[in-house]
Structure 1
Amino acid sequence: MTDFAFNPARTALINVDLQACFIEGSPLASPDGLELVPRINRLAAICREAGILVVHTRGWMRPDGSNLGVMGELVPPFIVALYTEGAEAAELHPAVDVDDRDVVVNKPRYGAFHGTDLEMVLRNRGVDTVIVSGIATNVCCDTTAREAAQRDFRVFFLSDGTATKEMAGVPADELQRATCASLSMVFAQVLTMDEMIGKIQAAPLPVDSAAGIPATAGR
């Protein structure tokens, strides 16, 4: 089994599409969405403390439909409207903790790298490792993890830090299990939330280069 080396200073947490429409009150919402948010908030707080960049992505289509492309042929207009700029459902859910230090990325496709400046943001910060959490496991989270791996980022994918819903008659738990199995073969190291937190907490504290002491010493 893959066991990636871990350096918090070179890592980013990517919280995929924790938008209102994917968490509650819409046909896209995961039944576990509301339960997932506090777990991700806890992880994000631990990441910030460890010096890990936190990124939040949003599916974000233009109101005039000019960046829809083939997606407009695949997805019904009433669904696209839920994650179109200006829609309340497209905003990050109010229960999601967003810090001033975090980065928000608006994306026009399922993966967080396609058509965005996410890779540039990460490379400029020296990031070579990402942790993927969010919704939906088998769509935007899976696509983001695969895109990251193909760009030579090390990927940690959270089996209980992602969630999905029933699709085309296949239950959510089967989609969750199948996605994690596929990713674990060639794209990512799949961990539970607790296992990921253990890795973070076992890593050396970041050092304040000016003072020569751990940056969080004395907290």
Structure 2
Amino acid sequence: MDLSKNMALVVVDPLRRFTVKGAPFEVDGAESIVNGINELANHFRQNSLPVIWVSRLIRPQLSLGTRTSAKYKGMNAAFTGEWAEMDHRLEIKPEDYVIFKPRHSSFHDTDLEIILRENGVKETWLCGFTFNVCVLATAFDAVAKDFKVKFVVDLCGTLPSKFDEKTVDSASIHEYTKIISDYAVGEMIASHDAAKILAQSSSGISN
């Protein structure tokens, strides 16, 4: 089996509201993440593997979703206009796929599963924003549909979160998400290992 045809990179919500200095939900280290995503996408293309960019689409006639609306009431501007655009530094190529999702998961009400099946994909590599919300939601749905999952963990951005009137810093949230994901969903990969893993797959060596 040619394993090089069984993998796809899915980049979840690389949006300006997370990646730009002064953005409503600015993620620490976002510039490095964006640069790393561009490099990883190039590795996939060089191996003739699909690169899929996913963006959150807010439909005017629909809500943000019950939980999102409750958490971010009065902040609709953060989900529209320039903040809803993909980061302009991303190197999206004509051969790539771009899809739009209305909810957290990249599979919900999108063509992602069709794209993966038509390309013979068995394993999804996930990165983007944010690790503990939309990336993780996508991963759970991928596993439910019998796709293997790898998280490119240093290319997943995370925000701090409030719980029980206490703020949990983004590094802790990131670590907790790694623990949960590694146990129940998929493997963790560092981006610097990408070239080696892709080379092994191209040679027909499974990880």
**Shared fold by TM > 0.5?**
yes
Seen in structure 2, the aligned counterparts of structure 1 residues 82 and 49 have a Cα distance that, compared at 3 Å, is: same
Q: Secondary structure at the match of 2:89?
A: coil
- Structure 2 letter corresponding to 1:103: Y
In 2, the alpha carbon distance for the partners of 1:190 and 1:78 equals: 36
In 2, the alpha carbon distance for the partners of 1:35 and 1:125 equals: 29
For residue 123 of structure 1, report the CA deviation from its aligned partner. Answer: 0.8
Q: Secondary structure at the match of 2:41?
A: helix
- Structure 2 letter corresponding to 1:48: R
Seen in structure 2, the aligned counterparts of structure 1 residues 171 and 11 have a Cα distance that, compared at 3 Å, is: same
Tell whether 2:58 aligns with 1:61.
yes
The CA deviation string for residues 150-192 of structure 1, in whole angstroms up to 9 with x for no partner, is 1110101112111112111111111111101111112101111
For residue 115 of structure 1, report the CA deviation from its aligned partner. Answer: 1.5
Tell whether 2:109 aligns with 1:115.
yes
Bigger-Rg structure (1/2): 1
Partner of 2:37: 40
Partner of 1:11: 7
CA RMSD of aligned residues (A): 2.0
The CA deviation string for residues 119-161 of structure 1, in whole angstroms up to 9 with x for no partner, is 1111112111100011111111111111111111010111211
Structure 2 length normalisation: TM-score?
0.89
Partner of 1:156: 150
8 A Cα contact 2:12 2:128, kept in partner: yes
User: Which residue, out of 77, 80, 87, partners 1:93?
Assistant: 87
Q: Secondary structure at the match of 2:188?
A: strand
For residue 57 of structure 1, report the CA deviation from its aligned partner. Answer: 0.7
Partner of 1:186: 184
Aligned positions, number: 199
Partner of 2:79: 83
Counting aligned pairs with the same residue, the percent is 26
In 1, the alpha carbon distance for the partners of 2:42 and 2:171 equals: 27
Q: Secondary structure at the match of 2:150?
A: strand
Partner of 1:177: 175
Q: Which runs of 5+ in 2 are unaligned?
A: none
Q: Secondary structure at the match of 1:110?
A: coil
Q: Which runs of 5+ in 1 are unaligned?
A: 207-219
In 2, the alpha carbon distance for the partners of 1:164 and 1:142 equals: 11
- Structure 1 letter corresponding to 2:183: M
User: Which residue, out of 80, 91, 100, partners 1:106?
Assistant: 100
